[in-house]
Amino acid sequence: MGVDWTALEETIRVAALRHAAEVIAEHPEQNFYAIALHGVSTSESENIAMPLLALNSVEALERDRQSESRELLVERGEDLDAENDYEDRSDAEVEGQLSEEHVTDSEDESRDSEDETDAEEDSEDLDEVLNAIEADLDADDDESFYSDKWEPSDWHWSAIDLCQDPAAQIWSDAMTDLATREGWESTIKRYYHTLVAVAQSLREELNERTKVDLVAYVADDDHAEKLLELCLTPQQLVEHFPQLGQPVP
């Protein structure tokens, strides 16, 4: 049993276009920035699966990041509603009481207090510097290809099936059988060629329905850079992944 690659490409394209157009139409207030085909591994396995479709918008990305940050704070036991400068000190004096030590050693305590204040100010200055550095690093990480911005499995719409059984199983069986007879590498290479063609077509057809230039690509960690270069326009590569194609210093 062979594989009609032209028919497979059209099947995936039509299904992906329909599902993506529905999601975009249902959320006209959102700015969709990316669409991806994923879930197909280039590593040899028992079968070759049909791809999943994923989409994400700028608004959904920001909302999910805020939700994740809040969950992390809760896991750490931090009270989100507590005042930042509040501290429940274990050595606090009961109001109206003054110990003998406070009276006899007032001058020493005054000097200690000044030293502690200076130390706290130095600590705050260092914290501000470190926080600024961390914010800059986080900002860079948030835009990298390996961040949640470009990881389809992390997106709000992350796993849309393009084909339901038995159609999906028929295509999967056909490709798996071909790989068994003619080799995994040649079959998966031809399959990825088909997926790249679909991604390019989706960008051209869906750009008219989105408010920003839509980035459409095939996602696979093992060949991420090569797939981006095949799927994206030169302008998109420069805008979103300027590090690609630049010589290593």
DSSP symbol at 246: P
Structural domain spans, the chain: 5-65+150-240
DSSP symbol at 29: T
User: CA-to-CA distance for 237 and 116, rounded, in angstroms?
Assistant: 52
Digit-coded pLDDT (tens) for 122-166: 666 666 655 554 544 444 456 677 789 999 999 999 999 998 889
Cβ-based burial of 80 (10 A; exposed 0-12, middle 13-18, buried ≥19): exposed
pLDDT at residue 223 greater than cutoff 80: yes
User: CA-to-CA distance for 40 and 12, rounded, in angstroms?
Assistant: 13
Cβ-based burial of 106 (10 A; exposed 0-12, middle 13-18, buried ≥19): exposed
The sign one gets for the Cα dihedral 62, 159, 190, 213 is negative
Digit-coded pLDDT (tens) for 179-219: 999 999 999 999 999 999 999 999 999 998 888 899 999 99
Q: Cα separations (Å) of 211 from 30, 228, 232?
A: 8, 21, 17
